Chains A and B, each alone.
Chain A
Amino acid sequence: MKRICIVAFAFFFGATVAFADEVDEELSNQVTDQLRVSTRQMIRTGIESDDAIKMTRLMLNHHFREEHALRAHAIIMSAQEQGLPIAPIMNKAYEGMAKQVQDRDIVQAMENVRSRYAFAYEQARELTEEKAQMRSLGNTIAKGLAAGVNDNDVGEIMERLQQRAQQMRRAQTIELATETFRAARDMARLGASSKAAADVVCQALKQRYSTKEMKAMRTSFMTRSRTTAPTDLARMYSSAIKQGIGAESLESSSTSGPGSMGGIGGPGGSGHEGGSGHGGGGGHK
């Protein structure tokens, strides 16, 4: 027993010294003690030492005030402890630095990302407790939120999915949920409003679209949105689906009236004229 305690003590002491050496070696003398301690704490919570050190170094290079650098560390550690992915949060910091955004605004953006994933994972947990499934679905929902699908609309989509889940096996439910949120995400990315995108998928779920049909609908939307304004197209799809039109018919459907989907108009796809030169987001240095 005594020998075990000695070995354990030596192991942890050695590990601490190793971390301390690495942190001290890789970070310059300009790093305050508090930041060094915080960096080591990040490593202790399970964050890769290279990532923790890189984050600290880059924040210093970008003249982060110590309070904001510590807050950034705290956000990452909180995400780690909650079982949320930390790569998107760190990447948000790197993005902000590349855009020369002020440290305070970068930290706020990092917190937005953490909060987004926390909400997304909470939603995913409503459908599955299995970790890998929950993470995968949570990531898809988070991307939908980032694309512009708002919390309320995510909630409505989840309600519909939970209704469908009552008649499906869990694996099928997860597949359907994933494809549903991919559809909402892609519609939002292409410019459809959150409400319009959510309405389409909710109608599709109500009409008992399968995973395959949801995917076909998403593909068809991506094609048609090259020639029709996305929000208008989403409204047309909602109306058509409500009328009972199947996914395979959406692309070629030309129903008349409010649900009409004929005609060409709206913004084109990639390669069209224009662009926006600007000073980037708020809080620029």
Chain B
Amino acid sequence: MKTHVLLIGAIMLILSGCASHYYRVKEDTVHIYLKRPNAKDIFFVSSLDGYELHKAKHGSDRIWEATAPAHREFKYFYIVDGVVYLPSCRAKETDDFGSENCIYVPDM
């Protein structure tokens, strides 16, 4: 039983570490992370400001970070090296252009 619990815990730890797109809410800000180690340039684009392009920041681990207000719902996507990119995300809707957008929903 103990082995099973440890095994499940280890699998969950590995999977969360392998997640390519996730976010963390810290106070009033949502930090949105995207793992694209080979990307040169990533822009975060959202409905918060009429889809203006915002350059994502990255650390030495090549995890790209964008921030947004945590209390507002918005739609978003990325532009990775000049190409529109939609990460895997829980909530989505069609974009009327044959593709989709991610939706950030507070508390979802």
Contacts and interface: CB of A to CB of B under 8 A. Distances in A.
Interface residues of A, number: 43
A2 B67 CA distance: 60
B96 A280 contact: no
B45 to A, nearest CB: 5
A276 B97 contact: no
A111 to B, nearest CB: 9
Contact of A112 (B45, B96, B101): B96
Interface string B69-108: 0000001010110011111111111111111010101001
Contacts of A282: 97-98
A190 interface: yes
B36 to A, nearest CB: 9
Interface of A: 90-92, 94-101, 105, 108-109, 112-113, 146-148, 186, 188-191, 222, 225-226, 268-283
Interface of B: 15-16, 18-23, 45, 47, 50-53, 75, 77, 79-80, 83-99, 101, 103, 105, 108
17 contacts: A94-B51, A95-B75, A98-B51, A99-B77, A99-B84, A99-B95, A105-B97, A108-B96, A109-B97, A271-B22, A276-B88, A277-B83, A279-B83, A279-B84, A280-B97, A281-B84, A281-B96
